[in-house]
Structure 1
Amino acid sequence: MRTTQQMSITLPNEMADAVKAKVRKGEYASESEVIRDGLRALMARDRAVESWLHQQVGPAHDALRADPSRAVTADQVRARLAAERAKAG
Structure 2
Amino acid sequence: MEQVVQVLGSVLVLIPFALSQWGRTSAHSRWYLAPNLAGSAILATDAALTSQWGFLLLEGVWAVVSLAGLIAVLRGREPRGAH
**TM-score calculated relative to the size of structure 2:** 0.30
Q: Which has the larger radius of gyration?
A: 1
Q: Indicate the structure whose relative CO is greater, using CA pairs within 8 Å and at least 6 residues apart.
A: 2
